[in-house]
Amino acid sequence: MNNYKFESRFFGFVFIAFLLSICNLASQNLDKHQLKNIKNPVIDEPGMSDPHVLVIKKTCYLFTGHDIGIGVPDWIMPDWRIYKSSDLKKWKQVGTIRPDDNLMGKGNTNCWAGDIVARNGKYYWYYSNRKIGTGVMVAKNPEGPYKEALGKYIVDSFDPTIFVDDDNKPYIIYGEHTYKIARLKDSMIELDEEPNVIVINKTKFFPSADKNSLHKHNGVYYLCTSGYYATSKNIYGPYETQGLVGKGYGIETGYAHGEFFVWKGDWYHTWCRYQNRSIDRMRDCFIAPTYFDENGNMYDDLRNINEKYKGPGTY
């Protein structure tokens, strides 16, 4: 993560991909969509990162990382936060998930990205201990308290995504540079098969990074990282790269960890953006409506985000 030459080259590729995507994005007519009143950034204070969403009826729960290392060029993340909203405008913190209650232990500040899923009347939180491994916690309600469910790491990687398909089968997707996927047992704390490497045919730019997410729309699987996405008719792939969902606001950097979700029948994208990565790792989270055209292409409506955030952040 701290290799200057790698990051310089990476952002050179990102910039080229960004320019190539402009023509396609510019063709989207956002005026046909009513502007939605959404608060951005989601909360006012900095430090909200790695957002993942759990929707229960009309309530949206946002599970996020918590950056505290102002002025420190590293990720200092002591816990995870749970926020709740019924309108995507007013958010209230309703819970905190602490490493004290899992394998990581009290005082650990490596609380990297996680994902949340409802299953069997319980709520399962899959968390990253930096790059060491992915653990599982469980609670009886979405606001917690969450406790260790497994006693060991379910995979020796990080940044997990949990996806439940139309046939109700659950999967875990994880990895850095190369993604892997495995079906989960109904217990949600065991793999039901050997992990499979996901093949991505990169005919368009697609970051070689972590931060994956997976969703499904009209029978098509969308494998995403930041604002880039690839599609397949098979959950295991291969996936074909399709481009970007938007420009600016950190989406094109490859660092915009987030996911796509449905709330009240409409699609949305949530992600995080570094404020100034050359100084520290403090981030903000955003939410934008997402639309699909007749060909299944995705694009974000970014009109509800203040122009001062339009740049990718300082790197």
Q: What is the pTM of this model?
A: 0.91
Domain ranges of the chain: 4-309
Cα–Cα distance, 220 to 205 (Å, whole number): 20
The answer on pLDDT for 249 being more than 80 is yes
Q: Is the domain 4-309 a CATH 1.25.40.10 member?
A: no
* pLDDT beyond 90 at 32: no
Say if residue 20's pLDDT is above 50.
no
Phi-psi region of 101 (alpha: psi -120 to 50; beta: other; left: phi over 0): alpha
Q: CB atoms < 10 A from the CB of 281, how many?
A: 23
Q: Output the six-digit token pair for 189.
A: 């704390």
Mean pLDDT of 230-255: 96
DSSP H or E run through 213: strand 212-217
Which tens digit of pLDDT belongs to each residue from 39-80? Answer: 999 999 999 999 999 999 999 999 999 999 999 999 999 999
Cβ proximity of 108 and 120 under 8 Å: no
CA 82 to chain centroid: 15
**Residue scoring higher pLDDT (61 or 312):** 61
Residue 315: which pLDDT band, with cuts at 50, 70 and 90?
confident
> Which of 154 and 10 is assigned the larger pLDDT?
154
What pLDDT is attached to residue 22?
43
Average pLDDT of the chain, as a whole number? 92
Tell me how far the alpha carbon of residue 84 is from its chain's centroid: 17
For the beta carbon of residue 1, count every other beta carbon within 10 angstroms.
13
pLDDT digits (tens, 9 = 90+) for 141-183: 999 999 999 999 999 999 999 999 999 999 999 999 999 999 9
